[in-house]
Structure 1
Amino acid sequence: MSAATSRMDAVRGATVLITGGARGMGELFARRAVAGGAHAIALWDIDEDAASALASALSTSGVDVRAYRVDVSQQHEIVAALERVTADIGAPDILVNNAGIVRAGVFWDNDPTRDIEMTMRVNTLAAMWLTREVLPAMIADTSRPKRILNIASAAGTLANPNMAVYAASKWAMIGWSDSVRLELRARGHRHVTVTTFCPSYVSTGMFAGARGPLLTPIMTPRQATHAAWQGMVRGTPMVLRPWTVKLAMALRGILPTRVWDVVADKVFKVYSSMDHFTGRGGS
């Protein structure tokens, strides 16, 4: 299979599974899958009514879109729901690990269960559990390209006060996601690609009240999903948006920590970006 053919056919005729698929970026990913000629789409969300409404609206396009009420913080629900999806519309060719929650505030005010454990379960473990279930079938089926898109965050590339647990969940997501990419390549499973998307703040409501650092405007969901989707289709290993995310990573890598702290705090205003966060708690 040529690289050109792999890219061209990645979405058309594919079965797509999107977590956190009822609204926000998840909804836009679903609409992109429809526009790209997907065969079927599974929308996973804890909000069954919203997922069902979107599935009904998108099904008018002729694509088989189905909604599933799934709490991705529970591994047994992931396993059971994937079995239902596979029986209903087939094994996923494209997986978008989009579900996420945000808990802000200083670390010692975070509740151990409601904030710390739940954030790690939804933002990190859920993607690991689901990808672990999906990958064997993806690896075995070499008849078409397979894609995994993991939605991480710029918060996983730089420390940021008032979002310690969220940042931890996304640091873990980035390290795991790119490691899986390398494992697949090393073992010759080149028809399966993993893309890690690291955006700065996106105006989905999750980060209501947050302020973008210097030269880093808050992106619209449409801008973010366009960049992530294009990267996934191409099999790009990592997509960082906007450009200042990569700049900040480079500066953090070369500057002494105390110097970077001054630059991040006083110049780029990274360290105060969450000072007025209100949020809405989920994606």
Structure 2
Amino acid sequence: MAEPIIKVEDVWFQYSPEVVALKEINLEIHSGEILALIGQNGGGKTTLAKHFNGLLKPTKGRVLVAGMDTKETPTHKIVAKVGYVFQNPAHQIFMSTVYEEVAYGPRNLELSEEEVDRRVKEALKVVGLEGTEEMHPYDLDYGKRKLLTVASVLSMNPEVFVLDEPTTGQDHVGRRVLSDLCIKLNKEGKTVVVITHDMRFVARTAKRVVLMAEGRILKDGPVEEVLYDYETLRKAFIRPPQVVELNLKVGKFPEKFLTVDEAAEMIRGILKSR
């Protein structure tokens, strides 16, 4: 098997002597994976993800990104590999127009203006923000500002995308756009890491789930395995999607399902066979 794109080895992280945010974390993420980090608030998800692009450095242990030790490698080299979409768009947006916001990253890569323009237009099209190029970012509603930050990272074309609570402030359409985008990026060979409390989004989008609580990894496995482990989820104060809870409570379906669409298809199949 190829070397992981991100490798976390016995990582501990302290914000202060009294606050230990990560404890003995070991994790490998391979190129082309689509992974969800889930768990209780304050469980360490965002702290761990910020180690993936060098925003934070381990107190103990090490993190390797494409073989580069984040403690020894300039952060700009790590950021070129791992794009990070912050939970709060205000932490990321700073230009005066939508176009300039998305163009900022590619210009720092010293690309031609023609290539910058192509990337900006493509990124805005993908997230559904065509026609907003000359708007001020703060004239967009919160959900669209979140999509703008996604477009800004898309235009950089990193190998790894980290999205922190991407569905916050999104309506059903926005959540579907983001889910489809993650799946599309994954099909193109990109690695996608999503930090979220949105279990319906996880069920529809992720292939692998890492469950965290109190700075530790409680469970790491395929999405179906983790979302059906009700007792372990409960330790992290997480409830599975409602259709999963239905299956767990009824317990008479021939197979497990994760989404309403999957449940409906199975029920139709059962009815047709009668």
TM over 0.5: no
Larger RCO: Structure 1 or Structure 2 (Cα < 8 Å, ≥ 6 residues apart)? 2
Kindly name which structure, 1 or 2, has the bigger radius of gyration based on alpha carbons. Answer: 2
TM-score normalised by structure 2 residue count: 0.36
TM-score (norm 1): 0.35
1 or 2, which has the higher helix percentage?
A: 1
